[in-house]
Chains A and B, each alone.
Chain A
């Protein structure tokens, strides 16, 4: 799943390790999420949303929803 985590992190000048520390997860987890290799669980997605002060759907893009919108 695509997301704008890297952008949000860069805006705050946080490293992957900084973000991982704040969420209590490994740096590898953040890297896997940013590169789209791993989709986080709802609790972790909510934690990210809370941390960045954005709704989940602004951070994570639903590729199927975009396909539907384009078709309409």
Chain B
């Protein structure tokens, strides 16, 4: 891998992050609007909507991985630490929710919320650690 500086790595991350988030928002809003055109959503449309929503998220996950590869060693350490703690909190919360479902304390839980929950846990961890390694 070609060596890139911290600034270059950060720029490469940010250049892709906002367009991908814009695509994600457009997919959700556009999907909701288009969905109103159908009496019953056709199956092909639901597959298309799923792909349009998920692909930008996969893009964000990819650029996060690339940023961790390319950034400087201190930022990498801070990012990985925040991600690890965020993942542990998310797995813990998912386990609690899973058992609550098993014992019928709650009915259903929208699984897609796990990813935003992870991002919140990861973001809060970075802030709490307060070492300014944020993107």
CB within 8 Å: A-B pair count: 42
Q: How large is the interface on A (under 10, 10 to 19, 20 to 34, 35 or more residues)?
A: 10 to 19
Chain B nearest CB: distance from A22 CB in Å? 10
Write out, one digit per residue, whether chain A residues 8-52 have a CB within 8 A of any chain B CB (1) or not (0): 000000000000110011101101110001101100100000000
* Residue B47 is within 8 A (CB to CB) of chain A in the complex: no
Interface residues of B in 62-111 (CB under 8 A from A): 71-75, 77-78
Partner of B73, one of A20, A21, A31, A41: A41
Q: Which residue of B lies closest to A24 (CB)?
A: B5
Partner of A29, one of B3, B4, B7, B75: B75
* A26 contacts B131, C-beta separation under 8 Å: no
Partner of A25, one of B6, B78, B132: B6
* A28 contacts B5, C-beta separation under 8 Å: no
Number of residues in B with C-beta < 8 Å to the partner?
A: 15
Q: Which residue of A lies closest to B4 (CB)?
A: A24
Q: How many angstroms between the C-alpha atoms of A21 and B7 in the bound complex? A: 8
* A28 contacts B75, C-beta separation under 8 Å: yes
List A contacts of B7 (CB < 8 A). Answer: 21, 24
Chain B nearest CB: distance from A65 CB in Å? 24
- Which 9 residue pairs spanning A and B have beta carbons closest together? A24-B5, A29-B74, A25-B72, A28-B132, A26-B6, A25-B6, A26-B75, A38-B74, A29-B72
